[in-house]
């Protein structure tokens, strides 16, 4: 075999939990280290080590990502009460993704991987739709109250000079509920820049939508910030790249998305992004074919799969049973990170390897070799279900032929 591909700068590698941790090692052993002199700065984000370090390892991995510019992350457990017992945790540690996102001030872009044989539920979607979700504020950082009848609810702001501004929410004759939301101009601006940069990077149009006709101050602020930043910093770059920024009302956006052929980025407020990304993922067929990248406004990239640690398969694996778990999204997290590393370090060989590995993966599925989840969806004749490892070996056969 030819010499291995060399890397000049390290990639931040964030290992994870359960079935995806098993897949992580298989991907490296079967498809990466035979071809690349892999240079990574390794952080073990598996729950045991997070607990041992009191979650410091998560913070360190995010700081390293800032330093090196590119990271690849395995799915991780977000602890709940069951997990605290299962892993004997000293605390219910926060979601690593949330911690990393907060440190990088990033926006998450989710894109489906499209393969022949798996038709989206909306058959006109022949190109991927990338959802960008604003990951700060709104209903996710709300304050809620249940109110008794006879109460008066007001919005009160105490300013720096001590003066108050008040606005009536509702006079409650009978019991009810209230909710206080907020967002921050700076966060909306970071979100906008991450979206504009990603659109330029991937040469795709950017759509953004809110309910500004009803929410004339709150949602309208999102629209204004996007428009101002676009006009001041991106309009000329977009025109030069031949792409478009397009704002519309959320209702109109939904209608247009359904009728579209895909091939653009849809920027969503936090709640819209939560709901619409599940809708889009389901419509394209499989969560296991959805990639995800966190992009910071200053251009730091962290790649991962959109799915979780596939716990049910892991328990089968522990019992010694063979699983057929889909590794494609995790594999594409690696190729995304390697390609970006190649671009930043001017290593065309490394980027070309990432392209080939993706091609080999898609070719494998399109030739009818796939894991159980896709086997159920694929309309290919003569399709064959393989186990977790057999799939990676089948990809490697095709990759070898390309090298
Ligand atoms: P999940 O791991 O995404 O799996 C849910 C179900 O979807 C699986 O049981 C499986 O269905 C199917 N599935 C997902 N990925 C698959 C793949 N690669 N191949 C084949 N089937 C796949 O979600 P979960 O079970 O709700 O969560 C498990 C853990 O993941 C939780 O501890 C959660 O905190 C964590 N999580 C982490 C992230 C992240 O790190 N980004 C995201 C979400 C969840 P069948 O069982 O029917 O085959
Ligand atoms: Mg959701």
| pLDDT number for residue 183 | 96
d(CA 332, CA 128): 15
pLDDT at 1: 58
Please tell me the distance between residue 310's alpha carbon and the centre of ligand 1 in angstroms: 4
Q: Is the CB of 308 under 6 A from ligand 1?
A: yes
Report the run of H or E that residue 3 belongs to, with start and end.
none
Across the range 306-328, mean pLDDT stands at: 96
Q: Is the CB of 310 under 6 A from ligand 1?
A: yes
As a 3-state breakdown, the chain gives helix, strand, coil percent values, each rounded to 5, of: 45, 20, 30
pLDDT at 185 > cutoff 80: yes
Read off the pLDDT of residues 271-292 as tens digits, 9 standing for 90 and up: 999 889 888 988 988 888 999 9
Does the beta carbon of 74 lie inside 6 Å of ligand 1? no
**For 142-247, where are the alpha helices, taking DSSP H only?**
185-202, 218-229, 235-241
Ligand with minimal distance to 108 CA: 1
* Separation of alpha carbons 341 and 335, rounded Å: 10
Ligand nearest to the CA of 135: 2
Residue 402 vs residues 183, 279, 396: alpha-carbon distances, Å: 49, 36, 10
Q: What are the phi and psi torsion angles at 143 (to 5°)?
A: -125, 125
The neighbouring-strand residues paired with 146 are 177
Six-digit token pair at 15?
């290992």
Q: At 99, is the pLDDT very low, low, confident or very high (cuts 50, 70, 90)? A: very high
- Structure confidence at residue 297 as a pLDDT band (50, 70, 90): confident
Q: Whose CA is nearest to atom 40 of ligand 1?
A: 75
Residue nearest to atom 24 of ligand 1 (CA): 308
> For 28-87, how does the pLDDT look when each residue is reduced to its tens digit (9 = 90+)?
999 999 999 999 999 999 999 999 999 999 999 999 999 999 999 999 999 999 999 999
How far, in whole angstroms, is CA 400 from its chain's centroid?
30
Nearest CA to ligand 1 atom 26: 308
Ligand sitting nearest the alpha carbon of 388 = 1
Atom of ligand 1 nearest to the CA of 330: 18
Model confidence at 299: pLDDT above 90: no
Distance (Å, whole) CA 242 – CA 240: 5
Q: State the pairing for strand pair 107-112/290-295.
A: antiparallel
pLDDT tens digits for range 228-265: 999 999 999 999 999 999 999 999 999 999 999 999 99
Ligand 1 pocket, 326 CB below 6 A?
A: yes
Q: Is the beta carbon of 135 within 6 A of some atom in ligand 1?
A: no
* Ligand 1 touching residue 75 (CB < 6 A): yes
Ligand lying closest to the C-alpha of residue 14: 1
pLDDT tier at 106, thresholds 50, 70, 90: confident
Tell me the C-alpha to C-alpha distance, in Å, between residue 92 and each of 59, 240, 323: 16, 49, 29
Measured from the Cα of 16, ligand 1's closest atom is 40
**Element (H or E) spanning 104, and its range?**
helix 96-104
What mean pLDDT is predicted for residues 156-172? 97
Of 73, 78, 274, 307, the residue with max ligand 1 atoms within 8 A of its CB, to mutate for a pocket test, comes to: 307
**Residue 324, pLDDT above cutoff 80:** yes
346 CA distance to ligand 2 middle (Å): 37
Give the C-alpha separation, 30 to 72, whole Å. 17
**DSSP assignment letter at 138:** G
Q: Is the pLDDT of residue 362 over 90?
A: yes
Ligand sitting nearest the alpha carbon of 287: 1
For residues 321-332, give the mean pLDDT: 97
The CB of 97 under 6 Å from ligand 1? The reply is yes
Nearby residues for ligand 2 (ion, Cβ within 5 Å): 274, 278
pLDDT of residue 281: 87
Packing angle, helices 388-402 and 18-27, rounded to 10? 30
- Residues, the chain, total? 403
pLDDT, the chain, mean: 95
Give the closest residue (by CA) to ligand 1 atom 23: 308
The alpha carbon of 15 and the centre of ligand 1 are apart by a number of angstroms equal to 16
Indicate if ligand 1 lies below 6 Å from the C-beta of 374.
Answer: no
Does ligand 1 come within 6 angstroms of the Cβ of 76? yes
- Provide the greatest CA pair distance for the chain: 80
Ligand nearest to the CA of 316: 1
pTM: 0.91
Is the CB of 324 within 6 Å of ligand 1?
Answer: no
Q: Whose CA is nearest to atom 30 of ligand 1?
A: 308
Mean pLDDT of 388-399: 98
Q: Average the pLDDT over 216-229 and give the result.
A: 97
Distance 277 CA to ligand 2 centre (A): 7
């Amino acid at each position: 075999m030819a010499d291995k591909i060399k890397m000049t700068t390290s990639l931040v590698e964030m290992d994870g939990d359960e079935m995806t941790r098993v897949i992580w090692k298989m991907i490296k052993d079967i498809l990466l280290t035979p071809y690349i002199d892999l240079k990574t700065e390794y952080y073990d984000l598996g729950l045991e080590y997070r607990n041992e370090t009191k979650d410091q390892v998560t913070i360190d991995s995010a700081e390293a990502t800032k330093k090196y510019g590119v990271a690849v992350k395995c799915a991780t457990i977000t602890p709940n009460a069951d997990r605290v017992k299962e892993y004997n945790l000293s605390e219910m540690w926060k979601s690593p993704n949330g911690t990393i996102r907060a440190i990088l001030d990033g926006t998450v872009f989710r894109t489906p991987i499209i393969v022949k044989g798996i038709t989206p539920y909306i058959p006109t979607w022949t190109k991927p739709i990338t959802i960008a979700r604003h990951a700060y504020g709104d209903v996710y950082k709300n304050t809620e109250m249940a109110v008794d009848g006879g109460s008066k609810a007001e919005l009160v702001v105490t300013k720096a000079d001590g003066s108050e501004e008040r606005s009536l929410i509702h006079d409650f004759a009978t019991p009810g509920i209230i909710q206080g939301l907020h967002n921050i101009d700076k966060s909306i601006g970071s979100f906008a820049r991450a979206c504009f940069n990603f659109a330029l990077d991937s040469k795709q149009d950017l759509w953004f939508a809110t309910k500004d006709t009803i929410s004339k101050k709150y949602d309208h602020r999102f629209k204004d910030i996007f428009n101002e930043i676009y006009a001041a910093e991106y309009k000329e770059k977009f025109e030069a790249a031949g792409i478009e920024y397009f704002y519309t009302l959320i209702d109109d956006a939904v209608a247009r998305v359904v009728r579209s052929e895909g091939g653009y980025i849809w920027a969503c407020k936090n709640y819209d992004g939560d709901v619409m990304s599940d809708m889009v993922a389901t419509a394209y067929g499989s969560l296991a074919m959805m990639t995800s990248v966190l992009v910071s406004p200053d251009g730091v990239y962290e790649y991962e799969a959109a799915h979780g640690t596939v716990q049910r398969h892991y328990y089968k694996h522990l019992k010694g049973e063979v699983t057929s778990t889909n590794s494609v999204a995790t594999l594409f997290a690696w190729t995304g990170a390697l390609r970006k590393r190649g671009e930043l370090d001017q290593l065309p060989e490394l980027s070309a390897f990432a392209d080939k590995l993706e091609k080999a993966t898609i070719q494998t599925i399109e030739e009818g070799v796939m894991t159980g989840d896709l086997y159920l969806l694929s309309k290919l004749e003569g399709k064959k279900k393989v186990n977790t490892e057999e799939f990676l070996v089948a990809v490697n056969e095709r990759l070898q032929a390309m090298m």
